[in-house]
Amino acid sequence: MIALLIRDLRLSVRAGGGFGLGLAFFLIVTVLVPFGVGPEAEILGRIAPGILWVGALLACLLSLDRIFQLDFEDGSLDLLATAPLPMEGAVVMKAVAHWLVTGLPLTLAAPVFGGLMSMPAGGAWWMFVTLLIGTPALSMIGAFGAALTVGLKRGGLLLSLLVLPLYVPTLIFGAEAAARGIGGFDASTPLLMVAGITAGSIALLPFAAAAALRINLR
């Protein structure tokens, strides 16, 4: 499993478009929002948690089709299906690789980018915590969506349409937890909801994704 994770990380670096593209898109969203809503620091600080969460969510979408598509095209996915490693384990490792390349850099960059939107003091910590807890769910849900569309040509748009509704609960509770924490209110309830979504995704979706892959490989 570790060898598969290292292989996917190397392929992500060689193929490009994962680490750099996600961060660049995240930065563009953060920079463009003040042009659209105005330079007022009070308004920007109030909407910063939601904007950063939306930007991170959309940035995660950019590389979802790479999770299984490259392996499907070169035949590696067929080898994984017949390998001693359970398909569920392969799904988890590919989701972890996607998170390390996309979700973790976005989590580390969000507090810095928040400064561009006049985020209040203490906001950097809350953005880091909520994204650290919530982005693994985005990668796992994305892996499930990628498994459903792996056999389709140009399935990137369909993948986005399938995954976006599943991302909504994580977005709502993640942005709410960050906003409450920054405002000095109790954020335990939405934070626990985000953690529950992440835990549920990691526990259940590998089996669903593995079943979808087996069907697509028949």
What's the CA gap between 202 and 12, in Å, rounded?
22
Amino acid at 49: P
What's the CA gap between 138 and 13, in Å, rounded?
20
pLDDT at 20: 77
pLDDT at 192: 97
Q: Is 67 in contact with 146 (CB distance < 8 Å)?
A: yes
CA angle 11, 129, 39 (to 5 degrees): 95
Q: Using 50, 70 and 90 to split pLDDT, how confident is the model at 191?
A: very high
Query: What average pLDDT score do residues 182-209 get?
Result: 94
Contacts of 74 (CB under 8 A, 6+ apart): none
What's the CA gap between 107 and 137, in Å, rounded?
13
**Residue 27 domain boundaries:** 2-216
pLDDT at 17: 52
Query: What average pLDDT score do residues 162-181 get?
Result: 94
pLDDT at 123: 85
pLDDT at 19: 63
pLDDT in tens, 90-141: 899 999 989 999 999 999 999 889 888 888 878 889 999 999 999 999 999 9
pLDDT in tens, 10-63: 777 666 555 678 888 999 999 898 888 888 888 888 899 999 999 999 999 888
Residue with tokens 């979504």: 197
Tally of domains in the chain: 1
Buried b (16+ CB within 10 A) or exposed e, 26-54: bbebbeebbeeeeeeeeebbbbbbbbbbb
Percentage of residues of the chain with pLDDT beyond 70? 95
